[in-house]
Amino acid sequence: MTGTEPVIEIANLSIAAAQSGVTLVDDVSLHVDAGECLGIVGESGSGKSLTLRSILGLLPPALHRTQGTVRFQGEKEGLRPVEPRELRGHGVSMIFQEPMSSLNPTMRIGDLVAAGPRARGVSRRAAADQALRLLAEVGVPHPEQRARAWPHQLSGGLRQRVMIAMALSVEPRLLLCDEPTTALDTTVQDQILTLVERLRIERGLALIFVSHDLSVISRIADRTAVMYAGRIIEHGPTGALVDSPRHPYTRALIESMPQLHGPPVRLKTINGSPPTAGRLPPGCRFAPRCPLAVDACHQADPPLLNIGPHRATACLRQAEMNVGEPV
Ligand SMILES: Nc1ncnc2c1ncn2[C@@H]1O[C@H](COP(=O)(O)OP(=O)(O)OP(=O)(O)O)[C@@H](O)[C@H]1O
Ligand code: SF4
Ligand SMILES: [Mg+2]
């Protein structure tokens, strides 16, 4: 299910370290429609979290946005430019990998979830009722009993459900998910993904879901943006991108992805490591690790170019990439 106009549109976002000026996120553009999930995948340090955090103005103090605009769709109006802090608690919510660090340990679960409605002027009684409804909606068993518990008394999976209930308590239109299942075992991870999918459909939420794991992204995202060393290097509908990658890095991620079904296979790993921020190689930033690199790849970093409906890649040799070609 997708709307006709994006809920959010980010154009040419760049983030740099204030002191050194080193660029950490480089010219990222993306949009998400209502009811749609955009996945962002990439190795550690590729800029996934900074991209999400910048939407809410939650960048660490040492970093700043050097360029880019965020446009958000309001209740009645169309897309309009916004300042990130305007979005916090007003249309956009975020859930993180480690819920314990985001749950105030001195507050009971019910009060944590009721805090969102309370901040919007809802009475104490109505906010407490709303918290119980939200805890039930996200599958917390025995909500009345759990509402009286402290965060440390819950399992990791239940804490993540509480985080999701807190995120929903401000009635968001856009939910930002930063590796929300990474710290969980696979059974609980599966349950949380199912929950997020259900909420997206039932509430028509726009979702951005970040993970380093393409198998998670391929399960939940309609479209996927692949990030490498601060840039989006490939983008497209998830099925098409996984079936027929048009960037060698995406293909390498696919080959290192555990199979969801079928017999276990020996996974390939990607040779080498990503460049350190501020020490990018000349030319294509993936060139030192790329099995398809040719001389031209070392001359200039290829721009992200459209290669068909809803697909884009930043690879000089994308046209030569055929399904099944070994990388
Ligand atoms: N506070 C900070 N000061 C300086 N550099 C930072 C800071 N936070 C992040 N970075 C750098 O910015 C780059 C992108 O970081 P980011 O956290 O967005 O990566 P990520 O893709 O989310 O990685 P991970 O999968 O490990 O969460 C990395 O090189 C990281 O070292
Ligand atoms: S531009 Fe060249 S080095 Fe970069 S990904 Fe494509 S083939 Fe590899
Ligand atoms: Mg991260």
Check: CB of residue 125 under 8 Å from CB of residue 113: no
The position carrying tokens 């992200």 is 304
Q: Among 233, 251, 206, which Cα is nearest to 307's?
A: 233
* Ligand 1 lined by 54 (C-beta under 6 Å): no
Report the atom number in ligand 1 closest to the C-alpha of 179.
27
- The domains found in the chain, sorted by start residue, are 6-91+172-320 (3.40.50.300)
User: What does pLDDT average to over the chain?
Assistant: 89
Ligand 1 centroid, distance to 60 Cα (angstroms): 10
From the CA of 297, the nearest ligand is 2
Q: Rounded distance, CA 225 to CA 135, Å?
A: 32
Q: Model confidence over 22-31: pLDDT tens digits? A: 999 999 999 9
For ligand 1, atom 24, name the residue with the nearest CA.
Answer: 44
pLDDT (0 to 100) of residue 176? 95
Q: How far is the CA of 234 from the centre of ligand 3 (A)?
A: 19
To which residue do tokens 């399904």 refer?
Answer: 323
Q: What is the per-residue pLDDT across 136-156, written as a single tens digit (0 to 9) for each?
A: 999 999 999 999 999 999 998
Is residue 275 within 6 Å of ligand 1 at its C-beta?
A: no
The candidate with the shortest Cα–Cα distance to 139, out of 160, 108, 118, is: 160
Query: Is pLDDT of 1 > 50?
Result: no
Top mutation candidate among 48, 54, 101 for ligand 1, by most atoms within 8 Å of CB:
48
| pTM score above 0.75 | yes
Q: What is the pLDDT of residue 268?
A: 66
How far is 195 from 187, CA to CA, in rounded Å? Answer: 13
